[in-house]
Amino acid sequence: MSSTESAGALAGLKVIDLSRVLGGPYCAQMLADHGAHVIKVEPPQGDETRGWGPPFDADGISAYFAGINRNKRKIALDLAKPQGRAVLLKLLEGADVLIENFKTGTMEKWGLGYAETLSQKFPALIHARVTGFGADGPMGGYPGYDAMVQAWAGLVSVNGAPDSGPVRIGVPLVDLATGMNACMGILMALYDRQRSGKGQFVDATLYDSAVALHQPHAPNYFMGGLKPKLFGNSHGNLAPYANFPTKGRNIVIGAGNDAQFRKLTQLLGKPELADDPRFKTNKERIANKPALEAELRALTAERDGEAFATELMENGVPSGAVFEVPDVMEHPHTKHRDMVWSKDGYRNVGNPVKLSRTPPAVRTKPKTFGHDTRDVLKEHGFSDSDIEGLIKDGIALVEIKKA
């Protein structure tokens, strides 16, 4: 990180984060990294991901929780109790954004629905809700976890190889995409508020986010009625675009046009492949993909994967050595791009959104449960005796409530 730390593009923005697990917290962390003042409000039992380990750090914080909850102040309230909801309403005074991912209908049951209550009390508030499937429709109200939505939305069906069958994508892509979409929606609503002076409701669902990821499968279906096949490490619309063996790491090669393919054949020492009638254009290469990939596998087998992938890139042919996570996190380009952040013993991936004048930063590492409960309540007008009373009555918490 740079030694000159910016306050961030969103400095002065107050966000109340009621969300748990991944999509909502990731959205809030994106805002916090860019300077928003985020107050994370956990339930008495804590965010579930506090227990999703090992590993855990010296303070007992799981790596999973730490990955999506930096730069936030941490308090805890029992919102199932009317007194807890009264405290929340106090926190919302002067807030710009509320993020939550409760089961559909929960906020309304508590008398905190956007249309009926929050938009009336706080007309400038942006209320962002992250859910699995939304509030209505045939699947409205269903619970949503990443893997299940990957299945319902067709992502599992297009991932994998013929011999493996459909396979879940190995990162929680849907949760992360939904967090990003919620973040974009919040920023759009804030921009509109500058003109209108009014807040609005932001509806981000895992299902919508997953469906929106179907490029090029959805256009292929709409235009040609094509049902995607399992291609494994290759591609249905482009060849070569696949994973090839070497004597070291496997490499991915993607020649996106005829010129790149010709350069590839030259670097492989067999330029005549570019003039083979079976491989002259992408259309022919797709039609003869098994033969093409067999030719290329034979030529890459004795190469050093990482060195050859770099040589291809230097000559304008897209390629990538198949790195593992430790390789990536310790790679000099990852560090050059400021994608590893460290502070006070905390180390994790950085924020991918770079701004030249107001860059993101890690200001505080993830905190223990209820770390800021007393301070935040005091800043919102509660006296010391009020705060101790709330803690004694289990309305506000500084320690996780045991089940």
Catalytic residue annotation:
175
Give the contacts of 169 (CB within 8 A, at least 6 positions apart): 150, 155, 156, 159
Please report the DSSP string for 69-87 in residue order: -TTEEEEEE-TTSHHHHHH
Q: Where are the beta strands (DSSP E) in 201-321?
A: 201-205, 241-244, 251-254, 319-321
CA distances from 255 to 183, 203, 315 (A): 34, 39, 12
Report the distance separating Cα 48 and Cα 58, nearest Å. Answer: 19
Angle between helices 173-196 and 23-33 (to 10 degrees): 50
Report the distance separating Cα 370 and Cα 363, nearest Å. Answer: 18
Return the closest-CA partner of residue 211 out of 167, 170, 153, 172: 153
Report the distance separating Cα 61 and Cα 49, nearest Å. Answer: 9
Region of residue 198 (left: phi > 0; alpha: psi -120 to 50; beta: else): beta
Residue owning tokens 């990821």: 213
Question: Are residues 242 and 285 in contact, defined by beta-carbon separation less than 8 angstroms?
Answer: no
Region of residue 8 (left: phi > 0; alpha: psi -120 to 50; beta: else): left
